[in-house]
Structure 1
Amino acid sequence: MTLTFPHINPVAIQLGPVAIHWYGLTYLAAFALFMLLALRRLHHQPYASVQGPGAWSRRDVEDMLFLGVLGVVIGGRLGYCLFYKPVYYATHPLEIFFVWQGGMSFHGGMLGVIASQWWFARSRHKPFWQVMDFVAPCVPLGLAAGRIGNFINGELWGRAADAALPWAMIFPQSGTMVPRHPSQIYQFLLEGLLLFVLLWLYARKERREAQVSAVFLIGYGVLRFVAEYFREPDAHLQWLQQASGLSMGQWLCVPMILAGILLWTWAAARRPQPLAARP
């Protein structure tokens, strides 16, 4: 028997004219998870051993989170407008600011976070890659929370699936009654839980600077690339899938994977920086 997407009210709490959406709550959950994991990360090496003015503290985590939130929101919105609907937003520039209409891009959000953490590293006189290696393992569970939000909203549904697939699901929002892959759950499991476990375990042992960041780029890129085979491309980007055989999400993952490989190789070839030399 084929499953049908359960109608879930996107509004979690209604307080008079104020509506609190589940999707917003998943963002809050993502930020809370980052805070929790980052505080644990302070006890990992090399962060626990850095002494003096460059020592890591809870204040650093709070400031990184604040800047990261700005990077996610601004970068995610601009990335969506640039990567997914450049022509539309070029002719409707004011709608770039209409964030309540939806439209966020992970890849844009990632670039926004990189920019925000570059600013943090520069202002705190910390090595940039040390900062990025700190952040990387704390991110995947937040991505998992976001995919739960996508599922609750009934958006980003999957491609058509064999009706015999036990977890195939009908998404009435798609405009058809065709059984589909619940791709939001696939991404929750792959880019969220699996990537978190792999990256957290990898980062528990001290690595050369930039290698943890490189593994994040490779891991997310590969897992998202795989998940995209089960996710229905956006209607206005179907032509790209038909012309190239790859979705926009997959094309955006290719440079991520290549950058991760090059970064890991570069980091492995560098001479390790003595701990005492770190700020």
Structure 2
Amino acid sequence: MLRYPEFDPIALQVGPVAIHWYGLMYLLGFALAWVLGRWRIRHGKTRMTSQDLEDVIFYGVVGVIAGGRLGYVLFYKPGYYLSHPLEIFYLWEGGMAFHGGLLGVIAMMWLFARKRGYRFLEVGDFVAPLIPLALAAGRLGNFINGELWGRPTDLPWGMVFPQAADGIARHPSQLYQMGLEGLALFVIVWLFARKPRPIGQVSAVFLAGYGVFRFLAEFTREPDGFLGLLAGGLSMGQWLSLPMIAAGAALYFYSARRTG
């Protein structure tokens, strides 16, 4: 059994201004997306420009924040926020959902594509390889915050998270998700995207790959206390991942048939 290394969630404080590690992980994620996007542009993997990349990242920031928050409100606590609507805007209190953030990014990428004259799936294929390392940074932020811990385990690397306040060794599921949804997915999508592919297939691999990895990782993650497990003994994260897997598979084969 391992003891969780109790990080100070505040990375730097200057007077009343506190900079949290989790916020820095968001910045790191967008910085990594910018670096990877520049590489893809420089190596001729897209017809998008450096200016397009900067605008895509701006659109992505808006989509992540707005979609992530609204997704959490609608998927996880609709009743609570219906009774406390002003608290929807209390972003500093936490509460973001990846699946909502993804929908927000998809909406913003559609808007960007329409304004710039690109095909929507062309933009998706450019953006998809840039996302997994940003997700890895976010999961590292979850681990530093000691939040979203795993289910109880007797494995030797089980960790006692003080925030759980029960002294039980648990899976460090944040690190599992960092490794699967972040690092492993990055390798798969990045290598897949290095060769010319039918339009939409890179996006499809990202969608299906994330869905599968998230579905598996959720078996080790403690379900939200206010929700518990849902129908079929699955968590909300698993139910939200199933449409991603289906959509990714459908898009992959649809794309292959269009170019076959």
Q: What is the TM-score with the length of structure 2 in the denominator?
A: 0.98
1:72 match: 64
The one-letter amino acid paired with 2:9 is P
2:161 match: 171
1:206 match: 196
Gaps of 5+ in 2: none
1:106 match: 98
Q: What is the Cα deviation at residue 46 of structure 1?
A: 5.0
Query: Does 2:41 align with 1:28?
Result: no
The one-letter amino acid paired with 1:10 is P
- Alignment deviations for residues 13-46 of structure 1 (CA, whole Å, 9 cap, x no partner): 0000100000000000000000000011114555
The one-letter amino acid paired with 2:253 is T
Moved over 6 A (4+): none
Match of 2:184 among 194, 206, 225: 194
CA distance in 1 between partners of 2:242 and 2:40 (Å) = 29
Match of 1:262 among 240, 245, 250: 250
Q: Indicate the RMSD between aligned Cα atoms, in angstroms.
A: 1.1
Match of 1:160 among 152, 171, 186: 152
CA distance in 1 between partners of 2:137 and 2:43 (Å) = 24
The one-letter amino acid paired with 1:250 is Q
Kept after mapping to 1: 8 A contact 2:45/2:194: no
CA distance in 1 between partners of 2:188 and 2:41 (Å) = 19
CA distance in 2 between partners of 1:239 and 1:224 (Å) = 15
- Alignment deviations for residues 153-173 of structure 1 (CA, whole Å, 9 cap, x no partner): 0000000001xx221100121
Query: Does 2:2 align with 1:10?
Result: no
Kept after mapping to 2: 8 A contact 1:45/1:206: no
CA distance in 2 between partners of 1:267 and 1:34 (Å) = 25
Q: Percent identity?
A: 61
Number of aligned residue pairs? 260
CA distance in 2 between partners of 1:119 and 1:224 (Å) = 27
Q: In structure 2, do the counterparts of structure 1 residues 239 and 184 end up closer, same or farther at CA, with 3 Å as the change threshold?
A: closer
Q: In structure 2, do the counterparts of structure 1 residues 150 and 46 end up closer, same or farther at CA, with 3 Å as the change threshold?
A: closer
- Alignment deviations for residues 40-65 of structure 1 (CA, whole Å, 9 cap, x no partner): 11145552xx4xxxxx2100000000
Gaps of 5+ in 1: 51-55, 273-279
The one-letter amino acid paired with 1:132 is G
Secondary structure of the residue that 2:228 maps to in structure 1?
helix
1:138-149 paired onto structure 2 within 5 Å: 138-149=130-141
Kept after mapping to 1: 8 A contact 2:204/2:251: yes
Match of 2:173 among 147, 161, 183: 183
1:122-133 paired onto structure 2 within 5 Å: 122-133=114-125
Q: In structure 2, do the counterparts of structure 1 residues 190 and 239 end up closer, same or farther at CA, with 3 Å as the change threshold?
A: closer
Q: Which has the larger radius of gyration?
A: 1
Secondary structure of the residue that 2:227 maps to in structure 1?
helix
Q: What is the Cα deviation at residue 6 of structure 1?
A: 1.6
Kept after mapping to 2: 8 A contact 1:214/1:261: yes
Kept after mapping to 1: 8 A contact 2:124/2:200: yes
CA distance in 2 between partners of 1:120 and 1:191 (Å) = 25
CA distance in 2 between partners of 1:43 and 1:252 (Å) = 36
